[in-house]
Structures are given as structure tokens and as C-alpha cells.
Amino acid sequence: MSFSLQTSIRRVTQTFVRSIQNKAALRPVPLPQGDITTPQAFLSAIGRSADTKVTIDSWDAFWHTSGYDLKKAGVAVKDRRYVLWCMEKYRQKIPLEDFAHEPRPRKKIRGRGPRIQQGKLIRSRRPR
């Protein structure tokens, strides 16, 4: 085998292996802090009814969970992203009160321009 063929095969296999590797398993598992000692306590503390959407019993298994595992469990994309984001903030030892929040309310006024700047609601022109 020539040297260039070996390097190209190695490069292709390395990129493929990186894509299927679970990066959550490589991150450190944080120690329980305060009254948060179980995954269910953490999920109920971050709010958004995440404790009903994710069911994991072990502390270590919870912290080794990846986005793909949550996807297989049937968790919606927004909830998945919020749970993973909160897990990373907790790993960085940021207090829960600083980052856990409710979802942003839906916008009632859409669009741009003077009608919006006056605070008027835009209604659909579709017949009902």
C-alpha cells in the first residue's frame, strides 16, 4: 500500500469513528449538590416538566446520556436541547437558580412596521 492511500484511509476512518462516538460519556460526572441527589430531582428543579419526559434512574447513567439517547426516548427537540444545556451548566458548577428558567412566551404581535410599533395586533386575512 502506498503512503498516500494509507493516510487517506486513516483520515476517513477517524472522521467516521468520531461521528459515532458518545461525547457525553467522556465528560466528567458532577457530584450531587445540595438537595439534588437523583436525576429526577435535577429534572424537576430545572422545570418545564422535564421530569415527566425523561426517565433515568442512575446518576451516572443520566450524566452519560447523549442527545441521541434522548431522541430515542422520544423527547422533543426543544426539551432535549434545554435538558442538555442545563446538564452542561450544572457540570460547570453554576447554581440552578441562575440558569433554570421557563420557556419564552409566544409572541402576540407579528411583523414589522408602524402598525406593530403602535402595538396593534395583526389578524389573519383568512376567512373564518
How many CB atoms neighbour CB 54 within 10 A?
20
Task: HSE, CB side, 13 Å, CA atoms: give it for residue 34.
Answer: 11
- Residues with Cβ within 8 Å of 117's Cβ and at least 6 positions away in sequence, in order, are none
Residue 106: the pLDDT is: 77
pLDDT tens digits for 34-86? 899 999 999 999 999 999 999 988 999 999 999 999 999 999 999 999 999 99
Residue 17: the pLDDT is: 58
What's the predicted TM-score (pTM) here? Answer: 0.68
* Residue 13 confidence class, pLDDT cut points 50, 70, 90: low
* Residue 114 confidence class, pLDDT cut points 50, 70, 90: low
Average pLDDT of span 113-125 = 61
